[in-house]
Chain A
């Protein structure tokens, strides 16, 4: 019987790209550590040998020209793709090969390059969806359907927490508007708020400043620093705006054609001749 249950479980968890990786935890001082992380699509080596080491409370940048594989790294880290080589660890715990929702529960939360909100839901509900995975807001379907006291308690505390989060992002007044009616900058903020609602240990931001005007970007820099300080958060971000990166990131990794071109201190890495060559060409 147990074998049968196991079979059904594996059937439901089948991945398109099955990982043969065996998970083993390691000793690590870093919040995120990747070892030889790589993925190939057919013959194309999209990302190879990426070794990231991100310390606690660090803001870490991942930059590179278009098509360098930055977003692919994000997709690997959040379980959208299963890596063909290597592994990644959160505080030493191997998360390679887990499903997206499991990885999110373990403590990775991300935003997207092109904003992906729940457009037909109100702002506060967007955040509440993010909260729903937390153990303290646990409530089974039967409890909800029968409207047992737990349901009301959970709903109340969830709404309260969601409002608190929205207040931090200056979105409290818009909480009952549909997410799609927010202006661009606020949509970005809401996406970050929703990611934070899942109580992550590492926040992955994919081009958070894209399409923002200078005022909004400045505001975003403040917000990100605020998140790091007040949520005790570690942040990994992809960005093209070098002013933004150099003003915010403690360390960066530069990718080009799926491989690491330079890494380390932001200023040094940006002034690396290889990096300049990759960007300007020639």
Chain B
């Protein structure tokens, strides 16, 4: 079973593991500062969220706009559990973290099942509305909770985990998430899920239990969102409901869409980059941009208050440009020029040799020759020649 060890399948583990080791060494030798560890924690959370959402959006093909809601459940329940555990003998160490992760994941998965049930009946936009509503309901519930339960408006106080080691744990959880989701996708169950996405009617007729797989995928995806939420609660002193709003769900969805639907590596890359640029843009606006004359002009005459709104505007513009670049028919030429695979093959001097293309790849776009076309057109003649009753019926029945 190790004969066909496919490096492509495991490259993402290696990259993440190497990055983790490098940053871990840096952090123990004091090579990175506090803000970088914070950023690393954020990136890990984003990757878990994006990969788990890509399971629903990319592989099951259902649009879910409530991913932040599942994360919210994980963050609040896990945060509460860890706060309670911290008062008992377990303390706020690794044991606390593991128990909270499990409880948060189970709670979110249970809610995933609840959302998965309407997914059996609803399609596309309608399901998106249900998930959207779910996210808002969850947020509002925690917003209106009492001070003794989840803190309500003032937020839930949670024990902040050790800053230098939390990002290491977060990345270990990322590896675990990847392992579970990739192994699930690359098995007969993953094939069944993609079959449901491609053609639900055919999947049912081929004996796939669509109900089971839909609910399972929603629960699995929600569980990992819950885990991301628990890690988030450990990275904060306080869990605030405002963090889990509709915009955050969209942000996660954008990571998945930009990374390419149905591509886990794409989701990882886009989650990393988007989180990184999001943070850098925020810093740039609050530090450099706010001192410029343009910023002063804008705050005096155009907008009131915080310049951070420009972060969202720039973010949105970049997204629009990327989507246009990916989909516009008039940019097809440019896309082909900048095709990563071609550029790479040029880099490694592997020339594109048409004779080495498998026959299967080339054959489909060949237009039928004239003789073949004649054969196609002569169908009627053949049936007329038969001369008996059944043939007559055939022609007319067929043309009806």
A198: Cβ under 8 A from any B Cβ: yes
B203: Cβ under 8 A from any A Cβ: yes
B235: Cβ under 8 A from any A Cβ: no
Q: Is the CB of A104 within 8 A of B206?
A: yes
Contacts of B201 in A (CB 8 A): 80, 112, 116
Distance (Å) between the CB of A82 and the closest chain B CB?
14
Residue from B188, B361, B372, B393 within 8 A of A242 (CB atoms): B393
Of B93-101, B179-187, B241-249, B343-351, the stretch lying at the interface with chain A is: B179-187
Chain A: number of interface residues, binned into ranges: 35 or more
Interface residues of B in 201-256 (CB under 8 A from A): 201-211, 216
Given A65-B397, A132-B192, A242-B391: A213 and B205 interface contact (C-beta under 8 Å): no
With both beta carbons as reference points, the residue of chain A lying nearest to B213 in the complex is identified as A141
A152 and B195 CA atoms in complex are apart in Å by 21
A67 and B31 CA atoms in complex are apart in Å by 75
Given A101-B204, A214-B375: A177 and B361 interface contact (C-beta under 8 Å): yes
A130 and B208 CA atoms in complex are apart in Å by 8
Contacts of A231 in B (CB 8 A): none
Q: Is the CB of B205 within 8 A of A214?
A: no
Given A101-B207, A129-B206, A243-B386: A145 and B180 interface contact (C-beta under 8 Å): yes
Residue interface mask B171-193, A partner, CB < 8 A = 1: 00000000110011001110110
B376: Cβ under 8 A from any A Cβ: yes
Contacts of B211 in A (CB 8 A): 12
A183: Cβ under 8 A from any B Cβ: yes
Given A101-B207, A141-B216, A173-B360: A270 and B389 interface contact (C-beta under 8 Å): yes
Max chain B C-beta neighbours (<10 A), residue from A146, A158, A242, A279: A242
Chain B: number of interface residues, binned into ranges: 35 or more
Q: Is the CB of A276 within 8 A of B397?
A: no
Residue from A109, A119, A173, A195 within 8 A of B199 (CB atoms): A119
Interface residues of A in 129-172 (CB under 8 A from B): 129-130, 132-133, 137, 139, 141, 144-147, 149, 151-152, 154-155, 158
Given A198-B207, A242-B391: A121 and B194 interface contact (C-beta under 8 Å): yes
Residue interface mask B339-364, A partner, CB < 8 A = 1: 00000000000000000000111001
* 28 A-B residue pairings within 8 Å (CB atoms): A80-B201, A100-B204, A100-B205, A101-B208, A104-B204, A116-B202, A118-B199, A120-B198, A120-B262, A121-B195, A129-B208, A130-B207, A132-B192, A132-B208, A141-B184, A141-B189, A145-B179, A146-B183, A147-B183, A158-B188, A197-B206, A215-B375, A240-B398, A243-B386, A246-B390, A271-B390, A275-B393, A279-B397
Max chain B C-beta neighbours (<10 A), residue from A120, A244, A275: A120
Contacts of B378 in A (CB 8 A): 214
With both beta carbons as reference points, the residue of chain A lying nearest to B202 in the complex is identified as A116
A76 and B18 CA atoms in complex are apart in Å by 56
A265: Cβ under 8 A from any B Cβ: no
Given A198-B206, A271-B389: A213 and B188 interface contact (C-beta under 8 Å): no
Q: Is the CB of B207 within 8 A of A133?
A: yes
Q: Is the CB of A214 within 8 A of B382?
A: yes
With both beta carbons as reference points, the residue of chain B lying nearest to A134 in the complex is identified as B207
A180 and B178 CA atoms in complex are apart in Å by 29
Max chain B C-beta neighbours (<10 A), residue from A78, A105, A109, A151: A151
With both beta carbons as reference points, the residue of chain A lying nearest to B2 in the complex is identified as A152
B369: Cβ under 8 A from any A Cβ: no
Contacts of B386 in A (CB 8 A): 243
Contacts of A270 in B (CB 8 A): 389-390, 393
Residue from A100, A132, A183, A276 within 8 A of B364 (CB atoms): A183
Given A147-B183, A213-B375: A279 and B396 interface contact (C-beta under 8 Å): yes
A119 and B199 CA atoms in complex are apart in Å by 8
Contacts of B359 in A (CB 8 A): 173
A38 and B207 CA atoms in complex are apart in Å by 24
Q: Is the CB of A101 within 8 A of B394?
A: no
